[in-house]
Amino acid sequence: MHFSFMGKQGGSHPEENKSRTSKLPIVDASVPKIMVFPVAMHIGAPAKPVVEIGDQVKAGQIIAEEGGFVSAHVYSSVSGEVIGLEKRPTVGGEADSIIIKNDYQYTKADPIVEPGHSHEMSKDDILSTVRKAGIVGMGGATFPTAVKLSPPPGMTIDTLIINGAECEPYSTSDHRVMVEHADEIIDGINLSRKLFPQLKKIYIGIEDNKPDAIKKMKEAAAEFDDISVRPLKSMYPQGSEKNLIQNLAGREVPPGGLPAEVRCVVANTSTIRSVYRACEYGEPLIERIVSVSGTPVKEPKNLRVKIGTPMDSLIDDCGGFAEVPGKVFGGGPMMGKTVSDLGVPIIKGTTAVTVLTPEEAHIGEEQDCIMCAECIHVCPVSLQPILISEAFERGNIEKAKELGAMDCIECGNCSFICPSKIPLLENIRSAKAAIKQKEEK
């Protein structure tokens, strides 16, 4: 029983369903013949392809260059031949993609920087390496990391928060990265110290349902006084950036603002590890850890996946489906995006592939609101979701805005908890879109 006397909980408790994969060591995924690389696997401008059909590429060779300041390079994760430049289904709709036929030679391109010199790197060296490696937020947000790690001029950073909360049900990729690669995460943190000279405190926030990860991270961080591994109550969405800053640093990001405005930077565990590997080994971001789970999956696994691998190959690695899947999505069930085609590739921000049975994915029939106030109770940013939803349904966009629609972080708690199955988040999203449209006019 979860219980809050004041009636403000700020989170919900969906069934975690992590036990099928949380103890499984990471294993290599198989690499299929055809790999698909969308040029927009990050927030910001799509990358521009720099290869032509028929080109031979090496593993770790750049195939699309960043299309602007907020953008990221795309690298091939295999060696082979470029056989297509076309639109392909991706998580989040059709997108321009580079198709590469794997030659299974794994001929490696030169590292992006000379390996073994990360400790000698200056601030600018690190930032340029992160940019060169095409690293983006690997917790799912896919915001280019080099941009995130360079706060706007005039803003100082005194707190670095490493997000190991992994509050999405089923997902265990960050969990396994922390258990198996704690040292590389700490090395990444130590590298990033150079970026923030005023840094005073580093928090690693981990939900208390991962005691083994907490233990490993504590051991790895033991010799650094300013690194504090903080167990967090297991509650969705504990890993949201705004809530981590509130719970760990005791600060609140102003509306529409950046964490840097309250002197914080938040990075995912896998992202900070990739920063280290890029600087130390000269590795561009061409692989990541993906947990594959859900009732229909025969043998769920934590896989080391080459970016560009279609989802069906991962499902095959997990023994296929034991029963008919109803919904498959990239990410967890609370914020993940559905796919209609298993040919969709794993991209830099795919933390997990989650499969639900039709029954599990069933959303009951919508009924009238009974005013139970549960949506208000679980909202992590203290909105009143039902009121925003109703304001929108009555066509009162101005009211939806006054009630804070733009502050919604779209965690999905309100829709999840609603006993009347009202599509609260959908309505709030529509309200946000309408507000934006109105403001642009």
Partner 1 sequence: MAQAIDVQGKLRVGPSPHIRSKRTSAWVMDQVIIAMIPPVIAATYFFGWWVLGMIIISTTTAVASEYLYQKLTYKPTTIHDHSAALTGMLIGLSLPVTAPIWMIVFGSVFAIVIVKQLGGGIGRNYFNPAVAARVVTKAFFTPWLANWVLPGGLFGSGYRGVDAVATATPLEFIGDGMRVVPEGAVPDFFELFMGFNLGGNIGETSKLAILIGMLYLIFRRVINPKIPILFIVTTFVTMGLWSSFNFEFMMTHALTGTLFFGATYMATDYSSGSLTPEGKTVFAIGCGLLTAFFRITLDHPGGVGYSILIMNALAPFIDSKLMPRIYGHKSRPQTKFNRQSTNHI
Binding mask 121-160 for partner 1 (x = CB under 8 A): ----------------------------------------
- Among positions 193, 194, 201, 429, the unique one binding partner 1 when judged by CB under 8 A: 429
Binders in 282-341 for partner 1, by CB under 8 A: 312, 315-316, 320-321, 323-329, 333-341
DSSP 81: E
In angstroms, the CA 391 to CA 386 distance is 9
Binders in 161-200 for partner 1, by CB under 8 A: 169
| Shortest reach from residue 390's CB to partner 1, in Å | 7
The nearer residue to partner 1, 75 or 329, going by C-beta atoms, is 329
In angstroms, the CA 289 to CA 422 distance is 35
The nearer residue to partner 1, 108 or 298, going by C-beta atoms, is 298
In angstroms, the CA 76 to CA 91 distance is 18
Residue 186 phi/psi, 5° resolution?
-65, -40
254 binds partner 1 (CB under 8 A): yes
| Shortest reach from residue 305's CB to partner 1, in Å | 17
- Among positions 11, 12, 63, 112, the unique one binding partner 1 when judged by CB under 8 A: 12
94 binds partner 1 (CB under 8 A): no
Q: What is the largest CA-CA distance in the chain?
A: 65
- Other C-beta atoms within 10 Å of 324: how many? 8
In angstroms, the CA 168 to CA 236 distance is 7
The nearer residue to partner 1, 186 or 264, going by C-beta atoms, is 264
The nearer residue to partner 1, 382 or 437, going by C-beta atoms, is 382
Q: By rule CB under 8 A, what count of residues binds partner 1?
A: 86
Binders in 353-412 for partner 1, by CB under 8 A: 356, 358, 360-364, 366-373, 376-377, 380-384, 386-387, 390-391, 393-394, 399, 402-404, 407, 410, 412
In angstroms, the CA 355 to CA 329 distance is 7
Coil, strand, or helix at residue 231? strand
Residue from 198, 70, 199, 260 nearest 146 by CA: 70
Coil, strand, or helix at residue 307? coil
3 binds partner 1 (CB under 8 A): yes
In angstroms, the CA 123 to CA 115 distance is 17
